[in-house]
Structure 1
Amino acid sequence: MLVKRVIPALAAIGSAAAQSRTCTVSTTTIHSQADATGLSGCRTVSGSIVLAEDAAGAISLSGPEEITGDLQILNNGALETLQSSSLETIGGEFKMNNVTKLISLDFSELESVGSLSWTSVTNLQTATFGPLTKADQVIISDTFLNTLEGIDLSTVRLLDINNNRLLSTFTSKLGSLSENLNIQANGLSLNVSLPNLIWIANMTIANVTDFQVPSLEIVNGSARFDSNYFSTFSAPNLTETSSGDISFVGNSNLDNLTFPVLTKIGGGLLIANNTALEKMTAFPELESVGGAVKLRGSFKEVAFPKLDIVEGAFDVASTEDINSSCDTLGKLAPSSQGGEGKVKGTYACTSKVADANDDTSSGGSSSGGSGSDSSDGGNNDNGAAGLVLNTALFGLVAVAAVASAL
């Protein structure tokens, strides 16, 4: 494919128009600082910029305030620092993948990107933004960052933070998230605080030491917590999940769980193998569950005082003696099992089950009645958190450049 650089075209433009110029290109490939300097007279780069695999050392992209397309760095093992003192907006994707020597990124004026995707930027220690306040999605995976304080979004479609082994804190003013929040496999002492989060579609939280969502009111889909290190979790203002599950699996330190005002779970409820959790009394106001309820643990007490309808099965097993709890819960059972018919599937409540904590499969989130649920809740895998690692490869070749005055 024919490759042409933008530099000769830019050199032909008079300096009087330089400060207001839009440089129209399809893709500009940067191999060196000299190539990057050739863009310094452009206020807007109408197109995309790619830093080539051989771009090395320190590169400055100062000059342009806007890139309408993408900024891409792929499979580069030579670039050490990247900075721009002018860039404010990237209209497309800011993507870095398999960039193994980059230590620092300083985009002190950057406030808006179409999306940000950094995967396998394995040596990146510092990243400075303006701060970044606008993005449709953010994926940060496998970096050496210990803070994300420059990312300050109030709303986002997808936020995925995983495998950043030094990341110890993440605090954000995020108020709503329309698709997925995924935080997992980061630093062992990661503390997450989302004090303004009110509405979220789905969340998967794993390997976190502290997770605070004091303002959360609605989960439109599912909330799943696997293998975390916190001892306490509370959602003091959460009133419902509209369609999805609530799941806590393998959180070995968890001994205090509270959802004090939750009245509805749209899908299923799975609480399993949280071995320090002795009281399953976290849902005092829960009235309806749209799927199955499955509880496995070392409970000494289980109570659902307001529960009125369970669309799927209700299945509880504990390593401890919960016979008195089972006597009370028995009223939920179908009439065919001697109860009041509040459970549409099958009902089971069992004490002193030695291997109760070994069964962590989902209780299921379907709303089918007894015909679709078994005594173990159907073993629908939707109640267990899935692990998501987003990686991608992208190839892009430079094309001819044209510069035109505004």
Structure 2
Amino acid sequence: MPRLAPSFLLLLSAAFAVSAQQDECSTQVHVSSEADLSPVMACSAFSGSVIISGSNINSVAWPALKSLAGSIKISSNSHLTTLSLNGLQASTGTITLFNNTLLSVISMSNLESLGGLEIITAPDLKQLSLPKIQALSSLKIEDTGLDNSGTLPWTSLSKVTDFGVSNNKFLKSIEMPSLTSISGRLVVAANGLMEGRGKGLSLLLPNLTSVSNCTLRHLTGLQILSLSEVSSSLSFDETNLEAIKAPQLKTIGQTLSIVSNNLLSNISFPDLTSIGGALLIANNTDLTDISGFGKLKDISGVLNMRGAFNNISLPSVSTVKGGMSILSSSKDFDCSSINHVKSAARGKTVCQAMVKSAKPTNANGTDLAGSLVESSATTVISDPEIIWAAVAVLSSVAYIF
């Protein structure tokens, strides 16, 4: 039997070693101790899944990792304080961190792109370092201790599919000067409230031009001066904003909702021409003049306004495909100023001034509790959920084309 050359044996041994490492770099690893991580620590590219749960590990560092096509899930590790993935660069995988109560530092200093990053329930988290991040498919940060003292990822981020930041009670501002588009949802809510002592968060998106669906709540500042298109719905609810200005916004694919903003006195959408769903403006205590819709022509859903406003100016509206319900508690409001809007509505309409109750009503002027609207100069604040019920009622009587 012929003998194999030593060089061939070396090549064969190397091939087996490479094959074994490839298997380790695409496997599923369940980690309960630092030793369990050893098999994958040499992987520079990883396509498997690492699950670290319920361990006593204090720190996770994976310096060799440069590319992640799989997933890293770290949950319910009561001793974990630090996660370091500083070798990680462009990746399509996901990193999920859930209920790591002592986690205070997350560092991915060379990361440029990632499929998804979720950080949920990390009350001690102070530093989130992603200085080079440019693109994310999904970002969700909820219930953390983040404030503005650590390094936040917003500076170079230019593209994201879904962006959600909520219930981070110490976070007072988000600034993303490079962000130009969000192809999915933007949700920012319940940040900077500090257990009732804070007023919210300032959101600065100076170069954002398009977003699919946008829900903004509990804001103290807002900059969306470049926004030109919202393909789905846009809502501003329960903020401390004094003004909402979108000077370049031209179209909203579905509903525009502006509800329960107690300090709001100025709404400005000067280039907006069409709303593909309902226009809902209600329960904005200081809003006495609604005149920021000079070019608005088409409302494809209902038009529903409630409040203490003295004036409504919708000079260009020619189509309201749903019903119209306008109730003001002001004695100075004159329904005749919007007669042309009433004529444009294809559903049933109601308009009244000096109402005792600015509760939502159905299209016949009867409130949803069954009592008739009465005349008075009293302002009554209404529940947004009830308002939406009224929208549904009006929608049901709208003509369908």
With normalisation by structure 1, the TM-score equals: 0.80
**Deviation at residue 46 of structure 1 after TM alignment:** 3.2
1:379 counterpart residue number: none
- Which residue identity is paired with 1:143? T
2:336 to 327, 335, 339: 327
SS at match of 1:96: strand
- The root-mean-square deviation of aligned C-alpha atoms, in Å, is 2.4
- Which residue identity is paired with 1:212? Q
Matched, 1:170 2:194: no
Distance 1:191 1:118 in 2: 21
SS at match of 2:48: strand
**Deviation at residue 358 of structure 1 after TM alignment:** 2.9
1:79 counterpart residue number: 80
Distance 1:46 1:351 in 2: 64
1:305 to 294, 309, 315: 315
SS at match of 1:136: strand
**Deviation at residue 278 of structure 1 after TM alignment:** 0.8
**Deviation at residue 258 of structure 1 after TM alignment:** 0.6
- Which residue identity is paired with 1:162? S
Higher RCO structure, 1 or 2 (CA under 8 Å, sep 6+): 1
Kindly tell me: are residues 67 and 113 of structure 1, through their superposed partners in 2, closer, same or farther at Cα, counting changes over 3 Å? same
**Kept after mapping to 1: 8 A contact 2:312/2:337:** no
Could you list the structure 1 runs, at least 4 aligned residues long, displaced by more than 6 angstroms after superposition. 365-369
Distance 1:189 1:73 in 2: 29
2:6 counterpart residue number: none
Listed one character per residue, the Cα deviations across residues 117-166 of structure 1 (whole Å, up to 9, x for unaligned) are: 11112211111124222221111110011147324432222111110111
Residue pairs, 1:18-97, within 5 angstroms: 22=22, 23-36=24-37, 39-97=40-98
- Which residue identity is paired with 1:354? K
Listed one character per residue, the Cα deviations across residues 144-189 of structure 1 (whole Å, up to 9, x for unaligned) are: 1114732443222211111011111111122111221111001134
Listed one character per residue, the Cα deviations across residues 370-404 of structure 1 (whole Å, up to 9, x for unaligned) are: 5569xxxxxxxxxxxxxxxxxxxxxxxxxxxxxxx
Matched, 1:276 2:279: no
Listed one character per residue, the Cα deviations across residues 17-65 of structure 1 (whole Å, up to 9, x for unaligned) are: 99xx754331123444454455443222231222232142223211121
**Deviation at residue 366 of structure 1 after TM alignment:** 9.8
2:140 counterpart residue number: 139
Kindly tell me: are residues 85 and 342 of structure 1, through their superposed partners in 2, closer, same or farther at Cα, counting changes over 3 Å? closer
Distance 1:89 1:70 in 2: 14
Equivalent residues, number: 348
Higher share in strand:
1
**Kept after mapping to 1: 8 A contact 2:166/2:189:** yes
**Deviation at residue 321 of structure 1 after TM alignment:** 1.7
**Kept after mapping to 2: 8 A contact 1:291/1:366:** no
**Kept after mapping to 2: 8 A contact 1:103/1:125:** yes
Residue pairs, 1:4-403, within 5 angstroms: 22=22, 23-36=24-37, 39-147=40-148, 149-151=152-154, 152-172=156-176, 173-187=178-192, 188-242=199-253, 244-324=254-334, 326-333=335-342, 341-356=343-358, 357-359=380-382, 360=384, 361-362=387-388, 364=391, 370=397
Listed one character per residue, the Cα deviations across residues 341-383 of structure 1 (whole Å, up to 9, x for unaligned) are: 311112222111133243440353899685569xxxxxxxxxx
Kindly tell me: are residues 299 and 44 of structure 1, through their superposed partners in 2, closer, same or farther at Cα, counting changes over 3 Å? same
Kindly tell me: are residues 257 and 365 of structure 1, through their superposed partners in 2, closer, same or farther at Cα, counting changes over 3 Å? farther
- Which residue identity is paired with 1:344? R
SS at match of 1:42: coil
Distance 2:172 2:191 in 1: 8
Kindly tell me: are residues 46 and 349 of structure 1, through their superposed partners in 2, closer, same or farther at Cα, counting changes over 3 Å? closer
Listed one character per residue, the Cα deviations across residues 220-264 of structure 1 (whole Å, up to 9, x for unaligned) are: 11101110011111000001112x111111000101111111111
With normalisation by structure 2, the TM-score equals: 0.81
**Kept after mapping to 2: 8 A contact 1:190/1:209:** yes
Which of 355-364 and 42-51 deviates more?
A: 355-364
- Which residue identity is paired with 2:184? E
SS at match of 1:328: helix
Distance 1:322 1:349 in 2: 14
Distance 2:234 2:306 in 1: 18
- Which residue identity is paired with 1:197? L
**Kept after mapping to 2: 8 A contact 1:290/1:366:** no
**Deviation at residue 105 of structure 1 after TM alignment:** 1.1
**Deviation at residue 306 of structure 1 after TM alignment:** 1.0
Distance 1:371 1:265 in 2: 16
- Which residue identity is paired with 1:330? N
Kindly tell me: are residues 365 and 176 of structure 1, through their superposed partners in 2, closer, same or farther at Cα, counting changes over 3 Å? farther
2:363 counterpart residue number: none
SS at match of 2:142: strand
Kindly tell me: are residues 358 and 367 of structure 1, through their superposed partners in 2, closer, same or farther at Cα, counting changes over 3 Å? closer
SS at match of 1:86: coil
SS at match of 2:340: helix
Distance 1:201 1:358 in 2: 30
SS at match of 1:87: coil
1:397 counterpart residue number: none
